[in-house]
Every structure is written in C-alpha cells, then in structure tokens.
Structure 1
Amino acid sequence: MDWNNITHIFFDLDHTLWDFERNSALAFRDIFEKHEIELDLEAFQKIYKPINFKYWELYRNNSVSKEALRYGRLKDSFDSLQFEATDATINLLAEDYIHYLPNNNHLLEGSLEVLDYLFPKYQLHIITNGFEEVQQRKMKSSGIWPYFSTITTSEEAGVKKPHPQIFEKALSKSRALPAESVMIGDNLEADIIGAHQFGLRTIFLNSEKEQPAVEFPQIQKLKELRNYL
C-alpha cells in the first residue's frame, strides 16, 4: 500500500498517546489519600478498569450521560468491592478525579519520539471522545499541545466516534481530504472502523494484542509507525 500521498495524521488521545491507565491510577492515589478512602489501589484499579471501559462504551452509544458515566463507574466499582460510600462522597470523588487527572502527564512509550519524527512531514491532529475541558489540559500538561494543528472533541462535534459526523468535522477543520489522511487509534470500533468507513486510511494501535475482526494495518508500539509514514 502506498502511503506517499498522506499529508494529515489524526490521532486518538487516551490509550494512544496519553497513558490513561498510569495517569488514572496516580489521580486515584491522590484523591483517595485526600479523602481518606481506605482501599487498596491495585485491587480498586483491577475492578475499575473494565467497569470504566463498559461505561465509555455506553457513553459512546449515547446510553448514559457524561454525569452518569462519572458517577456510575465509581459507584459500581465501590459496590463490587463492598466499600460503602455515600452519593455525596462519590460525586465529590468523581469531581476531584476529573480535576486531578490532567495533573499527571505520562505518555505512552515512544509518543514524543514519534511526534518529533512526524511533525516536520505531516499536519497532526487529534480526534477524541474525551471531555472537552479535560483533553486540552492533558495535552498541555504532557507537552504535546504544540504538535497539533487541530483538536476535535465529541462534545464539539455533537457526536462521538465512530459517528461519521465527527470525522467530517475534524477533516473540515483541518482542510484535509479523506484520501490524504490516516487515523491512528487503539479502539477498533471507534477509531479504526469509524475512520475507515469515512474513507480514511487507518493504523490500529493493537497494544493489547487483540485479534481484530477485520484486517487493518496494525502496530503494537508507536515507534512502528515509521514502517508506514
């Protein structure tokens, strides 16, 4: 496949460039300490990770609101661990989590190196389902903000990936054509299939070594992007 006509690269943010799992664990460590929540962090993270994933799927499909996601993922995690917390405490923790999360700035292995490599050659962009007020803070605190020409969030577009309208919005902002664009992300449905159906090339960051149902170009580490771009 010829990649020479690519001029625009669209990245997902969480789990693709920004190390969500590591930064999330640090945020919970800080807020549990602040509010004297006596839970083993490792045990909590083990329960929280799949519950959070489930809620993001529901949010992507418009089955829960942003507020319900923020409350429900904590409530369900505490219930699973048989940890009693009032609604007021859960809402306070949910609010503090969003505040603390962008304070941590760990990126996935190779993120800065690959951005340094791509930046002189391509226009770089972000398309994210994450919340508007948090994503920009994440990018600024982690130092990757200057690399990107445009950032398109689902709240701005009014729809979430994989809806075609968010890709239409992102390409319109960037003045890019689908045929000269590639989408890189870790979520097969939202990032890869969604972008592919809108006419973009795609590269699946298969860091969890999942077996995709459809064959797309895929990498396990960001540094492997050099094989394509």
Structure 2
Amino acid sequence: MRFTNKTDIFFDLDHTLWDFERNSALTFEAIFQKHGIGVNLQEFLKHYVPINQYYWVLYREEKIGHQELRYKRLKDSFDRMSYTVEDATVDLISDDYIRYLPTFNHLFDGAIDVLDYLKPKYNLHIITNGFQEVQTGKLRNSNIAHYFATVTNSEMAGVKKPNPKIFEYALNLAKTDRASSLMIGDSFEADIEGALNVGLDAVFFNEFKMEVRKDIAQVFHLSELKNIL
C-alpha cells in the first residue's frame, strides 16, 4: 500500500519514535540508586510495564487522573514484589521519574533517518497522550523538535486518543484536513482505530508483529515508511 496526495503526517511519540521502555528503564536505574531502592531492576520492570499500561488505559478512558496514574503504577509494582516503600518515598520517586525521564533520549532505530526523508516532502506533526511538560522535554532533548510543525498533547486538547476531538484539534492546529493527512502510531486502539474512526488514514507501527486486519497498513521498522510515503 502506498499513500499519495498526503501533505501532513502525524506521529505518535512514545513507543513510535521515542523508545519509551528503554528510556524508562534507564530512568528507574538512576532514581532507584538515588533513593536507595533495593530491588532488582529487571524484576521490577517485569511488573511495572504491564501495570503502567493498565493504568494508562484507565487514564486514557478518563477513569483516573494523572496524579493517581503516577502514584498507583509505582505502588502496585512495589506491592507486587512485596517491597515496602513509604508513600512519601513513592511520591518522591514519582516526581523524579517525571523529571529524569526526558534526560534519556534513545530513539527507535531508523527514526532520524525516516524523519530526514519525510521532512522535505511533508509537514510533520505530533499527537501524544503524554504530559506536556514531559513530552516537550523529550522532543527537545532528543533533538527532534525541529522536525515538527505542531505538537498536540492531551492537555491542550482536553481529551486523549482515541477521542475524535484530539484528532480534530490536531488537524485544526496544523491547518490541514483529513484527506491530506496520515497518522502513524504504535497503539492500535488509540492511534489507528482512533484515526480511522475520524476518517484519517493510518499506519500501524507494529513493532511486536501483532495479528491485525489485512486492510490495516503496517510497518515493522520505521525505515519501511519510505516504501509507502
């Protein structure tokens, strides 16, 4: 499948361009050392990653707020390991996590190369459910902010992907329309179904090679975007 007549490309940030899991692990390594948290990092991450994903779904569905997300994903992970941490320390770790996370800036393999390829051909944009303060730091510190004409986050739009309003907000901010635009992201529900439901074409960054419908455009490596754009 090759997309033609597109002028604007919208990317998700975390898990699509910015290697969230790798950077998150490095962040926890640094702050656990700072706070003297005596847990095995890999065992902690084994619990934390699915717990974090679970709470992000609740956050995306407006069932919890961001403070509850930040606290519970840590507290539940420590509880799962039967490791006691005072609430005040959990709060400190939570604050430091948000502060340290944008300082680690590994991108997915091929990210810079494909952005260099797309930049002269299209207007590039970001649509992210992440917190504004954190996402701004990630874009700046990883030296990719200059590729993007606009950045839409859920705090600006007042809703989160897959809510149609965030896509409408992003299109208006970019001064473009659905027919001329394309969404690229790793979350099938938030990025792909969210975009398709508002009439926006989408490409699934299918890093883990999930089984998806045959009518869904997908790439397994970012470099493959050159073959369809």
Q: TM-score scaled by structure 1? A: 0.98
Q: In the alignment, which residue of structure 2 is the partner of 1:27? A: 27
Matched, 1:53 2:46: no
Q: In the alignment, which residue of structure 1 is the partner of 2:140? A: 140
Residues 49 and 219 (structure 1 numbering): CA distance in 2 closer, same or farther, change over 3 Å? Answer: same
RMSD of aligned residue pairs (Cα, Å): 0.9
1:162-201 equivalences in 2 (<5 Å): 162-201=162-201
Q: Which runs of 5+ in 2 are unaligned?
A: none
Letter in 2 for 1:157: A
* 1-structure distance, mates of 2:70, 2:210: 27
Q: Which runs of 4+ in 1 moved over 6 A?
A: none
Contact 2:2–2:227, Cα closer than 8 Å, also in 1: no
Q: In the alignment, which residue of structure 1 is the partner of 2:215? A: 215
Matched, 1:37 2:37: yes
Aligned residues: 229
* 1-structure distance, mates of 2:171, 2:50: 32
1:149-203 CA distance string (max 9 Å, x none): 0000001000000000000000000011100100000000000000011111100
> How far apart are residue 227 of structure 1 and its match?
1.2
SS in structure 2 at match of 1:202: strand
* 1-structure distance, mates of 2:3, 2:31: 45
* 2-structure distance, mates of 1:150, 1:18: 17
Letter in 2 for 1:122: Y
* 2-structure distance, mates of 1:99, 1:214: 41
* 2-structure distance, mates of 1:2, 1:22: 31
1:114-129 equivalences in 2 (<5 Å): 114-129=114-129
SS in structure 1 at match of 2:215: coil
Q: Which runs of 5+ in 1 are unaligned?
A: none
Contact 2:105–2:142, Cα closer than 8 Å, also in 1: yes
The sequence identity of aligned pairs, in percent, is 55
Letter in 2 for 1:120: P
